């Protein structure tokens, strides 16, 4: 494995530092995570983002977790890029439901030049509605990130997903370095990065430590770190993976919060099957963002009314657009 990045942050924690977080008594870990959250954020405000799959299925990559891979027998039909009118109507509904960020995902290995302008139209349309914009479109070529930025793109999601060592058990059609290259292009264009991973894919705790270590080795900490619990989809290579233990998820969230104190930590996919108590522990452990809306990309997510009730029962609230501006500086 080549060095992850020559210009890793000087203050980046070592693997041993991160491993020691996972090994700490849970009460100590939660205390440190809450302290890190409170130093950097309003501890009662939870960011709410909404996802939309703007181009679904038929993806040539073999990511073992994904319903949209052409290698999966998941029954998710392939579709073309949605038209702007449909996407903007969805974005309007998301805004009305309280989402402050709209994230558009496409099942592409990489962005083709012919798709750049149609995607830019989606970005500029959502931006004009006063929401933060995020896209996840696979790998980028030189010059594409700059064009997305010009169109009004705030965030690009591109996950490292797991440790460098476990990566080839999950995906074989691209390398870890491919991911790092695209992240470098996104940063160079001045777009904020959203980069995290998935737990519950049969990886070990050492792999979870390795993921956080790889993220911490990036030249700049990701602005958002999504932690997804695998949503097992029948017909995908990893659908029979042993689900992540609830307290191990809580430890992963807390270790993420402590390692990335100024980043938004998103309790991302997988909430549909989590108890309210487990989600509450994840918020205690420093998660301060969720996806709302009853669908992620292709799989279910809790009803927004249930999420709002959950936040209220914990004395938390959905962050407003003003909060979003304060934390992102936009």
Contact of residue 69 among ligand DTB, ligand SAM, ligand SF4, none (CB under 5-8 Å per partner type) = ligand SF4
Measured between alpha carbons, how far is 266 from 62 in angstroms, rounded to an integer? 25
Residue 53: CB minimum distance to ligand SF4, A: 9
DSSP 8-state symbol, 179: H
Long-range contacts of 88-92 (CB under 8 A, 24+ apart): 88/122, 88/125, 88/126, 88/129, 90/52, 91/50, 91/52, 91/125, 91/126, 91/129, 91/131, 92/129
Return phi, psi of residue 267, to 5°: -80, 100
Q: Which is nearer to ligand DTB, 12 or 229 (CB)?
A: 229
Q: Cβ contacts of residue 31 below 8 Å, gap of 6+?
A: none
Q: Which is nearer to ligand DTB, 225 or 258 (CB)?
A: 225
Q: Cβ contacts of residue 192 below 8 Å, gap of 6+?
A: 154, 155, 156, 223, 224, 328
Residue from the set 94, 269, 281, 292 that interacts with ligand SAM by CB under 6 A: 269
Residue 260: CB minimum distance to ligand SAM, A: 17
Do residues 311 and 318 touch, judged by C-beta distance below 8 A? yes
169 near ligand DTB, rule: CB under 6 A? no
Binding mask 40-79 for ligand SAM (x = CB under 6 A): -------------------------xx-------------
Torsion-angle region of 140 (φ positive above 0: left; ψ -120 to 50: alpha; else: beta): beta
Residue 203: CB minimum distance to ligand SF4, A: 16
61 near ligand SF4, rule: CB under 6 A? yes
299 near ligand DTB, rule: CB under 6 A? yes
Residue from the set 136, 144, 192, 259 that interacts with ligand DTB by CB under 6 A: 136
Do residues 209 and 15 touch, judged by C-beta distance below 8 A? yes
226 near ligand DTB, rule: CB under 6 A? yes
3-class DSSP state of 10: coil
Query: Which residues here bind ligand SF4, judged by CB under 6 A?
Result: 59, 61, 63, 66, 68-69, 107, 109, 138
> Which residues bind to ligand SAM, rule: CB under 6 A?
65-66, 105, 107-108, 136, 138, 158-159, 161, 198, 228, 230-231, 233, 269, 297
**In the complex, which residues of this chain contact ligand DTB (CB under 6 A)?**
51, 67, 103, 105, 136, 157, 159, 196, 226, 228, 231, 268-269, 296-299
């Amino acid at each position: 494995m080549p060095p992850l990045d020559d210009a890793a942050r000087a203050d980046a924690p070592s693997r041993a530092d991160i491993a020691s977080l996972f090994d700490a008594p849970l009460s100590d870990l939660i205390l440190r995570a809450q302290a890190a959250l409170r130093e950097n954020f309003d501890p009662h405000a939870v960011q709410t983002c909404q996802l939309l799959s703007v181009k679904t299925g038929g993806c040539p990559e073999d990511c073992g977790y994904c319903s949209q891979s052409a290698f999966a027998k998941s029954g998710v039909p392939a579709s073309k890029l949605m038209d702007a009118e449909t996407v903007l109507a969805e974005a309007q509904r998301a805004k009305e439901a309280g989402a402050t960020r709209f994230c558009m995902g496409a099942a592409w290995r990489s962005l083709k030049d012919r798709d750049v302008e149609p995607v830019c139209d989606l970005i500029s349309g959502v931006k004009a509605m006063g929401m933060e914009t995020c896209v996840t479109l696979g790998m980028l070529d030189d010059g594409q990130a700059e064009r997305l930025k010009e169109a009004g793109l705030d965030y690009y999601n591109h996950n490292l997903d797991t440790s460098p060592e476990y990566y080839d058990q999950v995906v074989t059609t691209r390398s870890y370095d491919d991911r790092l290259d695209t992240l470098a292009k996104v940063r160079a264009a001045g777009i904020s990065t959203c980069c995290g991973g998935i737990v519950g894919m049969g990886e070990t705790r050492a792999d979870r430590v390795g993921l956080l270590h790889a993220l911490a080795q990036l030249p700049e900490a990701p602005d958002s770190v999504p932690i997804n619990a695998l949503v097992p989809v029948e017909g995908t290579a990893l659908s029979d993976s042993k689900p992540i233990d609830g307290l191990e998820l809580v430890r992963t969230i807390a270790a993420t919060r402590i390692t990335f104190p100024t980043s938004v930590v998103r309790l991302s996919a997988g909430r549909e099957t989590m108890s309210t108590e487990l989600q509450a522990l994840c918020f205690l452990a420093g998660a301060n963002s969720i996806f709302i809306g009853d669908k992620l990309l292709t799989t279910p997510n809790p009803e927004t009314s249930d999420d709002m009730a959950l936040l209220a029962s914990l004395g938390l609230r959905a962050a407003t657009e003003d909060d979003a501006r304060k934390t992102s500086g936009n």
